[in-house]
């Protein structure tokens, strides 16, 4: 997307607040105009004090505002013209100061409100999109980079639009006002001052391209910094136990160094840009002072004219400097906008189904299912790579418990991930109650499935809220019943606050067995007809496993259950065991039948039994 189209899209974010934008920009423009009008009052004051001009210079009308003020206030003023002039000059200055105060407040408050509102809107849009992105996006993107886009890039976008427009209006009004003052005072000197504008424009264009490139690099580096922080902090136990502090420090120092170098390059480019421009302005200023002094001595400029001209010229440096540096936040914002809108425009999960289910019976059929993991371009990660699943056919009856076993990479987790459509099949079809999964809406399909995995995810909320997660109107009676069935009620009651006790970040205050029983209670509360157990007991000690296994037996009753297990002793009672090897079904049958077959399952079982005996 071109810079122009990107910026127009940014401006559209402010369309719902057009009225507030107009008021804010008008206030900013009025504030800038009052600065110019205050400078213009210098002529009256200086000429009033100059012996050669006296009160005559003061009595001459200076601005339309002063003349109107005289007309309005005439009945209240003394009849002496000199006293009238002395009274009106400080009155106008005071009025302008009051106007400056109110317009500045309205402009700054409005800008802050609009900037924060649009920033919040963008973050809400990004989060809403993140919650609906396919699993493939998260497979290819780091958490730190995504966090940086929401936290850092959204702020840059808001600044790029409103702050830039704000500065452009304020400093453009000020610059035009000061230029008008220069031309009105002495047009010949004013023309001389404009001679350097083409050179300034060329410098701004050149530095703008480099600013855009540096801003993109800085955002990528910030994402990497966030990613390293996220990994190091979330994995701090692993870091400590394996003595990885120095390694993590080296990683962090490296990304900090990259961020520092980019910041210095950005500052150097900015400083060079404004420095050259200010040098040009300095050359112009010194030349103007020389010629102005000559013209003043020749009588072409009054003392008031000279002071007003020089004050306007020097005051004009600040808005011109701001306008020349406006390209920096523009380029930073455009680079951030590419990142923000890139995320917002990412395709969500394909939800083209139209059928809904009140409650499924639970029959699952896999028909010649194949699946390839794909890259960001939608193509297989490697054209020659073997598929994760290769023409798998499997019929699971309603209420049946089927265990998937096999070595790492055999396709167990991939198969389980296809059932709730975390991924879509590359070929073949999966049917629920005889209907292709793709014909159901995602919400309706996933309402039929509960998941309990080895890596339990708990949210920083109460124990009750975690059990009833996803229910907009939770029932405390159902929560307690689910906890009792999951053998979690006892330890919950021992918590300070009971069911209303906070879990802490990802439930780190709880043991592994307690976390697993909470996950089982959550699945019981949902009461879905299909259950996926992904190595739910593999990381537990014997006592915790006994309690969890007992809770799982309650959970599995009357439900179609797909179990992924490494501990083969936990699936001996499964109705059927399916052995996957290289993405294909190698064996299938009961525990006893597979042992008698003396194949892959038998070898895995005997190996685990020998290890446990040792």
pLDDT digit string, tens, across residues 304-314: 777 787 788 77
Integer CA distances (angstroms), 398 to 99, 361, 363, 417, 531, in order: 77, 6, 4, 19, 11
- 332 contacts 345 by C-beta, under 8 angstroms: no
Which of 466, 421, 474 lies closest to 448 in space, CA to CA?
A: 421
Q: β-strand 427-432 against 401-405: which pairing, if any?
A: unpaired
pLDDT digit string, tens, across residues 247-291: 788 888 888 888 888 778 777 777 776 676 667 666 666 766 777
Q: Is 27 exposed, middle or buried (0-12, 13-18, 19+ CB in 10 A)?
A: buried
Residue 199 has pLDDT above 70, yes or no: no
* Per-residue model confidence (pLDDT) at position 80: 45
pLDDT digit string, tens, across residues 486-501: 888 999 999 888 999 9
Residue 51 has pLDDT above 60, yes or no: no
Extended strands (E) in 299-425: 364-371, 389-396, 401-405
Tokens (6 digits) for 415: 């198969």
- Beta-carbon contacts of 444 under 8 Å, excluding residues fewer than 6 positions away, are 353, 355, 356, 357
Residue 301 has pLDDT above 80, yes or no: no
* Per-residue model confidence (pLDDT) at position 84: 45
Lowest mean pLDDT among 147-156, 322-331, 506-515: 322-331
Residue 404 has pLDDT above 60, yes or no: yes
* Per-residue model confidence (pLDDT) at position 53: 45
More reliable by pLDDT, 99 or 286: 99
Lowest mean pLDDT among 110-124, 134-148, 246-260, 286-300: 286-300
More reliable by pLDDT, 242 or 552: 552
- 601 contacts 581 by C-beta, under 8 angstroms: no
More reliable by pLDDT, 202 or 32: 32
Rounded-to-integer distance, Cα 55 and Cα 60, Å: 9
Average pLDDT over residues 420-434: 93
The DSSP code for 440 is B
* Per-residue model confidence (pLDDT) at position 386: 79
More reliable by pLDDT, 541 or 464: 464
Strand order in the sheet with 530-534: 449-453, 530-534, 560-564, 401-405, 576-581, 584-589
Residue 168 has pLDDT above 60, yes or no: yes
Tokens (6 digits) for 317: 């440096």
- Beta-carbon contacts of 221 under 8 Å, excluding residues fewer than 6 positions away, are 255, 258, 259, 262
* Per-residue model confidence (pLDDT) at position 427: 92
More reliable by pLDDT, 122 or 221: 122
* Per-residue model confidence (pLDDT) at position 79: 45
Residue 542, φ and ψ in degrees, nearest 5: -60, -45
Whether the pTM exceeds 0.85: the reply is no
- Beta-carbon contacts of 613 under 8 Å, excluding residues fewer than 6 positions away, are none
Tokens (6 digits) for 441: 């809406």
Residue 598 has pLDDT above 70, yes or no: yes
Residue 589 has pLDDT above 90, yes or no: yes
Domains of the chain with bracketed CATH: 3-344 (1.20.1560.10), 458-527 (3.40.50.300)
pLDDT digit string, tens, across residues 344-355: 988 888 888 999
């Amino acid at each position: 997307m071109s810079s122009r189209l990107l910026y127009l899209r940014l401006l559209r974010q402010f369309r719902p607040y057009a009225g507030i934008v107009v008021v804010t920009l008008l206030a900013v423009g009025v504030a800038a105009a009052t600065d110019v009008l205050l400078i213009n009052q210098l002529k009256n004051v200086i000429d009033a004090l100059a012996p050669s001009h006296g009160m005559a210079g003061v009595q001459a009308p200076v601005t339309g505002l002063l003349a109107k003020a005289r007309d309005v206030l005439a009945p209240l003023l003394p009849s002496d013209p000199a006293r009238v002039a002395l009274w009106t000059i400080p009155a106008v200055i005071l009025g302008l100061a009051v106007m400056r105060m109110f317009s500045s407040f309205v402009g700054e408050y409005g800008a802050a409100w609009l900037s924060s509102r649009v920033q919040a809107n963008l973050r809400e849009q990004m989060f809403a999109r993140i919650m609906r992105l396919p699993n493939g996006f998260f497979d290819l993107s780091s958490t730190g980079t995504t966090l940086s886009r929401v936290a850092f890039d959204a702020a840059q976008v808001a600044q790029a639009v409103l702050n830039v427009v704000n500065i452009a209006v304020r400093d453009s009004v000020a610059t035009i006002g000061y230029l008008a003052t220069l031309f009105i005072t002495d047009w010949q000197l004013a023309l001389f001052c404009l001679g350097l504008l083409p050179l300034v424009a060329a410098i701004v264009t050149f530095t703008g391209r480099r600013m855009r490139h540096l801003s993109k690099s800085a955002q990528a580096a910030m994402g990497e910094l966030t990613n390293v922080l996220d990994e190091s902090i979330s994995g701090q136990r692993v870091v400590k136990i394996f003595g990885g502090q120095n390694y993590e420090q080296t990683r962090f120092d490296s990304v900090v160094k990259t961020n520092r170098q980019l910041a210095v390059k950005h500052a150097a480019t900015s400083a060079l840009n404004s420095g050259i421009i200010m040098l040009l302005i300095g050359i112009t200023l010194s030349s103007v002072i020389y010629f102005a002094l000559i013209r003043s001595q020749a009588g072409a400029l009054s003392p008031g004219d000279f002071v007003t001209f020089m004050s306007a010229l020097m005051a004009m440096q600040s808005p011109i400097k701001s306008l020349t540096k406006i390209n920096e936040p523009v380029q930073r914002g455009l680079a951030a906008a590419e990142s923000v809108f890139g995320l917002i425009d990412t395709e969500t999960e394909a939800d083209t189904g139209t059928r809904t289910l009140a409650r499924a019976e639970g029959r699952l059929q896999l028909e010649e299912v194949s699946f390839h993991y794909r890259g960001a371009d939608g193509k297989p990660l490697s054209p020659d790579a073997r598929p994760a699943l290769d023409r798998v056919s499997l019929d699971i009856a309603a209420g049946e418990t089927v265990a998937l076993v096999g070595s790492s990479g055999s396709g167990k987790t991939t198969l389980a991930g296809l059932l709730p459509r975390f991924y879509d099949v590359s070929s073949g079809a999966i049917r629920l109650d005889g209907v292709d999964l793709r014909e159901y809406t995602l919400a309706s399909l996933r309402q039929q499935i509960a998941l309990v995995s080895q890596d339990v995810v708990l949210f920083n909320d109460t124990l009750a809220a975690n059990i009833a997660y996803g229910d907009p109107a939770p029932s405390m009676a159902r929560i307690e019943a689910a906890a009792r069935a999951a053998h979690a009620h006892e330890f919950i009651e021992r918590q300070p606050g009971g069911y209303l006790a906070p879990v802490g970040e990802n439930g780190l205050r709880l043991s592994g067995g307690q976390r697993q029983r909470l996950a089982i209670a959550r699945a019981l509360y949902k009461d879905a007809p299909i259950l996926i157990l992904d190595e739910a007991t593999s990381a537990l000690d014997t006592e915790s496993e006994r309690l969890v296994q007992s809770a799982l037996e309650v959970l599995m009753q009357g439900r179609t259950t797909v179990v992924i297990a490494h501990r083969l002793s936990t699936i001996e009672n499964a109705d059927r065991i399916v052995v996957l090897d290289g993405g294909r079904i190698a064996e299938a049958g009961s525990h006893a039948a597979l042992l008698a077959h003396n194949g892959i399952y038998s070898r895995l079982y005997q190996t685990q039994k020998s290890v446990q005996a040792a």
